[in-house]
Amino acid sequence: MTTRAGRRLQEIFNTRPVLCDGAMGTSLYARGVFINRCYDELNLTEPELVRSIHEEYLQAGAEIIETNTFGANRFRLLRYGLENKVEEMNLAGARIARQAVEHLAEKQAGQAWVAGSVGPLGVHLEPLGKTSLQEAREAFAEQIRGLVAGGVDLLIIETMPALNEAEQALKAAKETAPDLPVMVMVTVDEEVNCLDGSSPETAAARLTAWGADAIGCNCSTGPANVLSAIECMAAATDLPLVAMPNAGMPRAIEGRNIYLCSPEYMASFAKKFLKSGVQFIGGCCGTTPNHIRAMKSALRAAEAQKTAPARMAREPIVTETPPAPLEERSRLGKLIQEGSFVTMVEIVPPKGIDCRKELAGARLLAELGVDIINVPDSPRASARMSGQSLCIQIQQQTGIETVLHYTCRDRNVLSIQSDLLGASSIGLKNILCLTGDPPKLGNYPDATAVFDVDAIGLVNIVNRLNYGLDIGGNPIGESTGFTIAVAANPGVPDIDNEVRRFAYKVEAGAEYAITQPVFDLRLLESFLKRIEGFRIPVIAGIWPLTSLRNAEFMKNDLRVSMPDEIMLRMQQVGSPEEARAEGIRIAQEMLAATRSMVQGVQVSAPFGRYTAAAEVIQAVLPKRVATV
């Protein structure tokens, strides 16, 4: 159904081809504005410079010019300390563009329109990030209010990397300015998929269903890829199409990113876009008034416009492959489903390639009746053998099942999916989803962290893979069949935030949780009460202290809640042997006290002392551990 704003778009432009402008940032950079400046701020500090660029595009033949507000939202402006100037900056940007259009009308008796540019927020949204959908929508609405107050004729939501963000921007536009036409453009990668993995057909169908008035593709890797994306989108929508590609892929030349597509090359693609049924044609990064001028000539020279056949919007069919019941996915899943008390021991990967000690420890623990071996992923941001490698060696050589800790610190969303698919294919079925310690905590503080997603986003990714879909909703075939665990920390100072994040993890698909080491039973009891409305099986972390120094490290460096009475007990012991024995007794007491509250324990083995971990579990397996 055509919206009121959509009808207005038809009234203004009918079905004729319309030429839009090119890049604002490219022209500003060419005029000596460094890339570390906030380009949107120039609306307030150098309005004549911005206006002169608008006028150049109008003189080149553009009928729609976009405001210099691509990054004028609270999240991007926060980086410059300008988050309180969102509406002011957008209002100014709209007025500058309006002045340029009015000046053209006076000088050439021509007519042009002002489009309010709304770019991505520059942050990850839930479920892959910390920013909620509501916060995103409010940020977009704040920006759009300024554009509307400045008198824009339409809105262009552009360069959207993910469909959930495009949806929030579109909803904000429809709620804030229901009478303004809204064009929405996604950006695609070299494989012509959106950056969240969605196909162009999926993007087109969903944007159509969400009420966009025109849709298309901009930025990306150049006109060829944008054309391919547009051809795919055309099959899934009957809305007007929009294409605004970069001037090719940037090339690094003497320290600068240069876009090498000539005006003539871009003009040739303007004709191809026209033949493919695109109505609104323009440029993005690297395009200049010269490119737009050449594209204008090409459109004028086109002898005939090929009318695209009528298209019916349709939602692509997505086939889910649900995972097997929890008890069929792994031995651990069966134990959890049956309500059995689970025993785990943590084995840290070695710092080299020799894992004979770790394998011997796993054999010992398997013989003693421990259920599962837990393998961390470069704990404390240290360089170690990969957890995945150690997991598969333990399973193959000892027969005991493992849980792989998996962090977001070192991997982008592509690597995460590749790793998880590989882990499933080689027989790893238990994943603990973690955000990961930042590199500054480890031995390589200058190492770069990725953090494309946090633990909540990672749970969503794993859960989607369990349903046979990647994060873009594309089928991958069989379910990965993971059991999904998350971490919980009952002792953090901001327990409200911890409980809130735990609820998000459960909603995302977590099936059980493992806590940080427990020394304060009151905090564990309080946490368990707080999560009663969304409780999943909880496995308590148990850490056998080895010395007073170890206790001080846990308390002060790792910020683990450590009651004074435990510190006193570790302080009063004499020799190192007595300290380790006292640490084991404390851990056994914690296990005994928590057993009725939780569904299992994960016992750490400090400094590779696996027999110490086995001694702690003697309250659960007294007969078998008595031989240690």
Looking at residue 229, its pLDDT comes to 94
- pLDDT band, residue 628 (cuts 50/70/90): very low
232 labeled binding residue: no
310-346 per-position pLDDT tens digit: 444 444 555 678 899 999 999 999 999 999 999 999 9
285 labeled binding residue: yes
**Highest mean pLDDT: which range of 184-188, 312-316, 405-409:** 184-188
Q: What is the mean pLDDT of residues 76-95?
A: 95
- Which tokens sit at 524? 């564990």
582-596 per-position pLDDT tens digit: 999 999 999 989 989
- Which tokens sit at 111? 């007519």
Q: Is the pLDDT of residue 449 over 80?
A: no
254-268 per-position pLDDT tens digit: 444 444 578 888 888
Q: Is the pLDDT of residue 3 over 70?
A: no
Tell me if the bond preceding 127 is cis, omega within 30° of 0.
yes
Looking at residue 380, its pLDDT comes to 60
471-507 per-position pLDDT tens digit: 777 788 889 999 999 999 998 888 998 999 999 899 8
Under DSSP, the state recorded for 1 is -
Query: Regarding predicted confidence, which is higher, 609 or 44?
Result: 44
Looking at residue 626, its pLDDT comes to 37
Contact 578, 571 (CB under 8 A): no
CA distances from 596 to 340, 341, 372, 538, 544 (A): 12, 10, 20, 11, 20
Query: Regarding predicted confidence, which is higher, 625 or 161?
Result: 161
Per DSSP, the three-state class of 240 is coil
CA distance 278 to 20: 12
- pLDDT band, residue 148 (cuts 50/70/90): very high
Element (H, E) at 232: helix 223-234
Tell me if the bond preceding 622 is cis, omega within 30° of 0.
no
Element (H, E) at 185: strand 182-186
Looking at residue 466, its pLDDT comes to 93
Q: Is the pLDDT of residue 448 over 90?
A: no
CA distance 324 to 322: 7
CA distance 597 to 525: 8
CA distance 61 to 84: 36
Contact 437, 380 (CB under 8 A): yes
Q: Where do the domains of the chain lie, and which CATH numbers do they carry?
A: 4-301 (3.20.20.330), 330-545+598-621 (3.20.20.220)
Looking at residue 627, its pLDDT comes to 38
Max CA separation in the chain (angstroms) = 96
Looking at residue 306, its pLDDT comes to 45
Percent above pLDDT 70 for the chain:
89
Q: What is the mean pLDDT of residues 141-148?
A: 97
Looking at residue 331, its pLDDT comes to 95
219 labeled binding residue: yes
Looking at residue 445, its pLDDT comes to 52
Q: Is the pLDDT of residue 219 over 90?
A: no
291-310 per-position pLDDT tens digit: 999 999 888 877 444 444 44
DSSP string for 422-444 = HHHHTT--EEEEE----GGGSS-
Looking at residue 249, its pLDDT comes to 65
Beta bridge partners of 280: 18, 242
Element (H, E) at 172: helix 163-176
513-527 per-position pLDDT tens digit: 999 988 989 999 999
Per DSSP, the three-state class of 353 is coil
Q: What is the mean pLDDT of residues 567-587?
A: 90
Helix runs in 348-487, H state only: 356-367, 387-398, 413-425, 455-466
Looking at residue 108, its pLDDT comes to 66
Give just the sign of the alpha carbon dihedral 114, 115, 116, 122: negative
Looking at residue 469, its pLDDT comes to 87
Q: Is the pLDDT of residue 622 over 70?
A: no
Looking at residue 476, its pLDDT comes to 86
What is the average pLDDT score of the chain? 86
CA distance 28 to 26: 6
Looking at residue 621, its pLDDT comes to 64
Beta bridge partners of 218: 244
Looking at residue 379, its pLDDT comes to 67
Under DSSP, the state recorded for 194 is B
CA distance 174 to 299: 32
CA distance 59 to 620: 81
Q: Angle at Cα 94 formed by Cα 88 and Cα 98, nearest 5°?
A: 140
Q: Look-up: residue for tokens 């590749």?
A: 418
Beta bridge partners of 538: 513
What is the number of other CB atoms lying within 10 angstroms of the CB of residue 79? 11
**CA neighbor of 270 nearest in space, from 215, 226, 213:** 226
Report the half-sphere exposure of 440 (CA within 13 A, side-chain side): 0
- pLDDT band, residue 605 (cuts 50/70/90): confident
352-395 per-position pLDDT tens digit: 898 999 999 999 899 888 999 999 887 665 678 888 899 999 99
Radius of gyration over alpha carbons of the chain, in Å? 29
- pLDDT band, residue 529 (cuts 50/70/90): very high
Per DSSP, the three-state class of 147 is helix
Those residues with Cβ within 8 angstroms of residue 420's Cβ, 6 or more apart along the chain or in another chain: 406, 431, 461, 462, 465, 480, 482
